[in-house]
Amino acid sequence: MRVKFSFTLAVLLLCTIATADTPPILNGSECDFNIGSVGNFSNPQPTFWEVDYIGAPEQVGTTWYDYQHNGSQSRMIAVGTDGSIHDCWMNGLLSGAAQRVIYYNKKLPTGVWLYGNTGTQVNSVTRTGFTTMDLDPDGNAVIAYHGYMTATPNLGFVWTSTGEHPLPAAPVGVVEIAWPHVAVDNRGYIHVVAMGNNPSGTVTGKLYYSRSENGGTVWTAWQLVDSLGTAAAVSQTVTTDPISGKVAMAWIKPLNNGVMQGEVYYIESSDGVNWNFANKINMTGFSTSTHPAYANSRCYDDVSLLYDQSGNLHASYTTVQYPTVTNGGKIWHWSQATGHRFVTGTYTANAWTALNAPGAWRRSIDRSTLGENAAGTLYIQWGQCTTPGDVSSATGAYGNWDVYATYSTNGGYHWMSPVNVTATATPGGTPGNCLSENWANMAKKVTSNLNIQYIKDLDAGGIPQNEGTWTLNPVIYQGVPSDSILTNMDMTLTPVNPPIIIPQGGGSFNYAVNVQNAGLHLVHFDAWINVRLPNGSTFPVITRPALTLPSGGTLLRNMSQMVPGSAPAGTYWLRAFVGVSDWNVWAADSFMFVKPAAGSGEGSWLANGWDEGQEYSALTTAIPVNHALITAWPNPFNPATTISYTLSQDNFVTLKIYDLQGAEISVLVNGHRNTGTHQVRFDGSSRASGVYLYRLTAGASTAGGKIVLLK
């Protein structure tokens, strides 16, 4: 259920800071300036905005310090076994950063917030921040953070019910230790991963681990987990399995000197005590060409971990386009059972997805966190600043963020339609009038709600990164009813005059496609149709990307399908799908047709009747048993397109680009490739507009098509 509100927001006329060209990695001393106090603004001028939430937002506190994390957020919200909600955040008490402390609030099972709508300060050291949280076995909050102190820069702390406990001093050779992320296991052991840092703000590229087995009083010495190089940013996270006591940590390791070209690494311990830090596992495998998107993607600077109820480890992470980075991002899921599965996102803008300026250390689609409910349904929450035109009036026009969520009922193999759960829009919003739901994260335990926390930034952009203006921002808890984001798409195929028998020399048949959106929300989706051959392999017939149906909408197509005489004898299935092409199926249907005998002669698998876009048909007159499938998207393109091909068996593959005169202009693939789907990027930046041909050879099989470069 969506809940509508009208907000009256004060216009805070504060000093605007110039946009930073090269943002620093923020630490405890990044803001020694003070731009004014709470009272330093003119008489408020009310502005009214109507917004449309799923669930009811509840204010748990405020902060002048909108920015919360550089990279991985881990978690700042948790759900107790009694249903209580625990929130923590970095609270700027004044505009400027000198009074930066840790605040906490708790929603009791009765529904009352223990500390009203302001929260309470839990620490004593000033200039603290970048906080993460977990619960101990008794349901008490355990909060990690670091603080800037003149005598001991960036000393880490963990706050528990017994008070504020300092983490070990920085190890030898490291000036500072910072950005501690925390998790608590089923024995109450507190696990912390943190980064080494030096006073200039340049990360030393070392990841460290420490543990307390007595509630934070005594800690093990820092252990070096990994050396990441000087390009490393702040991406570490840690999680525990509440049943078995397993502990896992993950981080992004740069492939070269850049935070936008990395791999996800992880380590597990069966008991949280015995670790083998030499046994680091490369989860993503971009450098070894094993990731399904290795040709055009690399990891960005955030990762989330979750143990499900069966003790299986899951991860979600963000990728960016490679080698040319855009503001866009893609969210992925991984588990040992599913491998890498695409969740959502894009590297290119379209009619409903703009790549608005996200601000420093962000992509316009990023920062996911994982959760699970008692039935084993997985959920992912993330942020997007992609609504066309929804940008602030500040210098740089930063995108106003929304919070999105989706779910999977099959362990993360398929992810359903993304839903915008905040759905605010304040295009051209002035300081104090923006509605930007940013730095969102979700509790790992999903009850009847997705339990989400975020900062409602009233002037988009991260103020300590010199983006926008200082504003006093609400800290929000939003319980999103899990049944309110359900995808309810229906796909129906109705053949005309069944049963369908194809003559030996080939023929055609007619059928109707009916797609309905019976869900609560507008859906953007792909539709695709393929034929399952008698040998069990599939052949693509038609793909229609980037379709839209509003809630209650229907799409109807009357189709005609040709079958060539050269098609082999046997039983075929025509199958239609809606979802995300090649990845996520939200609805499907199929029917059978038969070709009693193989024939010969010319013919094609041309499909007619779908009136959007460009028809796709086979370019060969027959279908080899060991065929290769190939598509290009986007098409037309500028300046690059991604060519995807699927192999039914391991083979030596060449993929080449030609001009219309037949001259070879590029060799994209020339080597052995394994069974499965592969992607490769063709960049036409140096080419003239026009039509080009691509041709794939896989063993004795060939396939190809046309791509159109429009500049």
Instruction: Give the pLDDT band (50/70/90) at residue 198.
Output: low
Least trusted range by pLDDT, from 189-203, 309-323, 654-668: 189-203
Quick: pLDDT tens for 567-587. Answer: 999 999 999 999 999 899 999
- For residue 110, the model assigns a pLDDT of 96
Strand partners, 105: 87
pLDDT of residue 29 exceeding 90: no
Residues 49-78 have a mean pLDDT of 89
Q: What is the pTM of this model?
A: 0.82
- For residue 4, the model assigns a pLDDT of 44
Quote the CA–CA distance of 2 and 422 in Å, as a whole number.
9
**Helices and strands (H, E) in the chain, number of each type:** 0, 46
Could you give the 3-state DSSP secondary structure of residue 421? coil
Nearest to 373 by CA among 288, 293, 450: 450
Instruction: Give the pLDDT band (50/70/90) at residue 658.
Output: confident
CA 254-260-265 angle, 5° bins: 40
DSSP for 274-338, written as a single string: ---TT--EESS-TTTT-STTTTTEEEEEEEEEEE-TTS-EEEEEEEEESSS--S-EEEEEEETTT
- Residues counted in the chain: 711
Least trusted range by pLDDT, from 213-217, 432-436, 699-703: 699-703
Quick: pLDDT tens for 541-567. Answer: 888 888 989 889 999 999 999 999 989
Query: Which domains are assigned to the chain?
Result: 2-32+58-485 (2.120.10), 487-623 (2.60.40.3880), 624-711 (2.60.40.1930)
Q: Are 468 and 461 in contact (CB under 8 A)?
A: yes
pLDDT of residue 183 exceeding 60: yes
One-letter amino acid at 581 equals S
Residues 277-281 have a mean pLDDT of 95
pLDDT of residue 45 exceeding 90: no
Task: Give the mean pLDDT of the chain.
Answer: 86
pLDDT of residue 153 exceeding 80: no
Instruction: Give the pLDDT band (50/70/90) at residue 700.
Output: low
- The residues, ordered by sequence, that sit 6+ positions from 686 with a Cβ below 8 Å of its Cβ are none
**Neighbour tally for 676: CB within 10 Å:** 12
Instruction: Give the pLDDT band (50/70/90) at residue 317.
Output: very high
First vs last C-alpha separation in the chain: 44
E-state strands within 435-522? 436-442, 449-457, 473-481, 489-495, 500-501, 506-517
